Structure formats: structure tokens, C-alpha cells
Amino acid sequence: MKTQNCYLPHEAEILERVQETPDTFTWKLRFTDPDVAQHYSFRHGQFNMLYLYGVGEVAISVMSGDGSNLWHTIRAVGRVTKAMMALPAGSHIGVRGPFGSSWPLDHARGKDIVFVTAGLGCAPVMSSIRYVVAHRAEFGRLVIMQSVRHRHESLWEPQYEAWRALPDTQVLLTASRDKTRWPHWELGRVGVLLDKADYAKDNCVVMMCGPDAMMRDTASTLVELGVPGESVFVSLERNMQCAVGHCGHCQFGGKFVCKDGPVFAWPAVAPFMSVKEF
């Protein structure tokens, strides 16, 4: 990477697009240059910079990948992502990456694995969950917790239901703003799931992704419950423009979230998570 131009995207084609919810969609992408496609590989939890012609770039975590294809799940919230939602399959975009740190799956072997996500925070852990599922015997118990505001906004419910059937696997879902309590669903925020989760507090790895407040509260609770802070990992989101630790926007204390993160061990970021406007 040293001699390459780390700012320059490569062309990729949108092979398929799925409208997941009214504001969220998934792209299946492939680099048009076979050489680029062949040399591309990502670690679970990393992100790519996706570029929309004439508009700009956004940092989006890699939801899944299978060698030559990449999947990104994107919520249309900003100038770039809203315009991306309008692109039909067959369009071309720019992609550079992968960037950032990854989930500590290698260190998690033999331990109980706990995923805690909220909203679209489920996307950055998808490939990790699939990895654990595919290598089920190498890990201890698997707990998957996901919270959404309304059940109808939830992504991939059939996938969660399929995981529920696996051995030693708990799938806990909650909707914070629904009036009705659906079967297999709780009502409330992610906190209501923590009590129900069954895992070894002293021998687990927690991987968490969601809004700052949710991660702060959940990580604090877990630590109070006896989970060592070093076993809790969070994926942060900040303004990222260069993705390589140069542009300075994503700084969080001494950390460049794009380069040192987005995945951090909780103690590395905990001191500043409750500082307002940090």
C-alpha cells in the first residue's frame, strides 16, 4: 500500500440491489478490474469507502464478501447515501478499501461470543456472525442480540430465526418503540436483553455496534456485571473522509477512528465516551 495512491477508488459494478426497508438497501458489488477483485480481501468489521460519481464518498462497513463479490448495506441518511439509493443495478461506483481494524475473532476462539447491535449496527457484525456460525465448533456459546425501533424496520429476520435453531445459540431481539410484543421479540431497548443472555462473563468476547449512547450504556453495564472491559469491543462511527488517518475528521482523543478503529477494545475509548461534544 505504501507506494499506491491510497485516495484513488477503483471502479465497481452494482450487480444486484435489494431494498431492505424504505430507507435501507443492500448492494452486491464487484470490482470491474479482475486484478483488483483478485487482490481484494477484507477482515470482518472493516469498511470500504464507496464513491458516487460527482457527489462524494462515504464510509460503509463490509456486510459480507465471498471472494469476488462484496455486499454493503446502506441506510439513506445523508447527501451521498440518499443519492446512492436511487442507483439501479448495473450502475458503476468507486470503491477503495478495505480500511480499519477488525473484530477480534482470532482471539475469541474457545470463548463465548456475544454480539450486541442496534439498528443498522447489525450490518458490520454480519460477516462475523456468519464466520462463527460456519466455524461453530471452534467457539463457545453464541448470543446474538439486536435491537430495533420497530420490528418492521428490522433487517434479515429470517436469518436471525435460522440462527436461533443452531445448537448453543441464543437469538434475542427487541423493538424499543413497538406497542405490540411479537412472538420471539421483547419490548424495550437492548438493555432488556442483557438479563436473558446466557454466556460466561469471565470467558467471553462481546462485539458491539450501534449508536454511541447504546454502546456506552451497554458496555458500562457489562463491565458492572463482571465482563472484563478488555473483552468488550465496540465499533465507532465518526466523520471519515480519507479513511487512512490523514484528514483528521474522525479523531477521538488520540485515536483515528478510521485507522486505529473502527473496532476498539472498550478501555481504549471508554474515558471519552461520556464526554459531551468530544
Partner 1 sequence: MNTATQSPKPRVAIHKFASCSGCQLAFVNMGTDLIELTKLVDIVHMVEVGHVAPEDEQVDIAFIEGSITTPHDVERLKKIRANSHYLLTMGACATSGGIQALRNNADTAEWMRSVYAKPEYIESLSTSAAIANHVKVDFELWGCPVSVRQMLAAIRSLLFGVPPVISREKVCQECKRRGNNCIMITQGSPCMGPVTRTGCGALCPTFGAPCYTCYGPAESINAASFGVRLMGLGLSAEQVARKFASVNNAAPAFSEATQLFSGSAWMEE
Partner 2 sequence: MNEMRYFPREKLATLIAAIKEAGYRVIGPRVEPGQGGLVYCEIAGAEDLPQGLSDEQSPGRYRLVPNGSKRYFAWANTASAIKPYVFVPRERLWSVVRKEGRLHFEPTHGQAEKTAIIGARACDLAALALQDAHFLRGKYVDTYYRARREKLLLVAVNCSHAASTCFCASTGDGPEVSGGYDILLDELDEGFIVRVGSSRGAMLMTDFPTTAATTEQIALACAQGEACRTAQTRRLPDEHLLPRLMQNLESPIWDDIAERCLACGNCTAVCPSCFCHREFDNPALNGKTTEHWRDADSCFSEDHSYLVGEVVREHTRARYRQWMTHKLATWVEQYGRTGCTGCGRCTTWCPAGIDFALEANRLLADEEGAR
Q: Which is nearer to partner 2, 55 or 225 (CB)?
A: 55
Select the residue interacting with partner 2 from 166, 247, 265, 270 (CB under 8 A): 247
Cell numbers of 171, please?
A: 437469538
3-state SS of 7-73 is CCCEEEEEEEEEEEECCEEEEEEEECCHHHHHHCCCCCCCEEEEEECCCEEEEEECCEECCCCEEEE
Measured from the Cβ of residue 3, the count of other Cβ atoms closer than 10 Å reads 5
Which residues does residue 55 pair with via DSSP β-bridges, in sequence order? none
Contact partner at residue 82 from partner 1, partner 2, none, CB < 5 to 8 Å by partner kind = partner 1
249 in contact with partner 2 (CB under 8 A): yes
The reply to whether 136 sits near partner 1 by the rule CB under 8 A is no
Q: Which grid coordinates belong to 164?
A: 436461533
Smallest gap from Cβ 92 to partner 1, in A, equals 15
> Binders of partner 2 among 19-38, rule CB under 8 A?
32
| Closest distance of CB 265 from partner 2, Å | 15
CA end-to-end distance (rounded Å), the chain: 32
Q: Which residues within the stretch 113-132 sit at the binding site for partner 2 (CB under 8 A)?
A: none
Locate cell 491510497: which residue?
A: 6
Distance between CA 97 and CA 69 in Å, rounded?
A: 14
Single out the segment in contact with partner 2 by CB under 8 A; choices: 35-43, 86-94, 121-129, 179-187: 86-94
Kindly identify the residues of this chain, within the stretch 58-77, that bind partner 2 according to CB under 8 A.
77
DSSP label of 118: E
The C-alpha angle with vertex 17 and arms to 184 and 243, in degrees rounded to 5, equals: 90
- Applying CB under 8 A, does 259 fall inside the site for partner 2? yes
Q: Which of 189, 241, 253, 195 is nearest to 215 (CA)?
A: 189
Please tell me whether residue 2 binds partner 2 under the rule CB under 8 A: yes
Judged by CB under 8 A, the stretch of 61-69, 142-150, 171-179, 252-260 that binds partner 2 is: 252-260
Looking at beta carbons only, is 55 or 200 nearer to partner 1? 55
Strand pairing category for 112-118 and 204-209 = parallel
Q: Verify binding: residue 55, partner 1, rule CB under 8 A.
A: yes
> Which of partner 1, partner 2, none is residue 253 near (CB under 5 to 8 Å by kind)?
partner 2
Q: Which residues bind partner 2 (CB under 8 A)?
A: 1-11, 32, 53-57, 77-78, 90-94, 237-239, 241-242, 244-249, 251, 253-256, 259, 271, 275-278
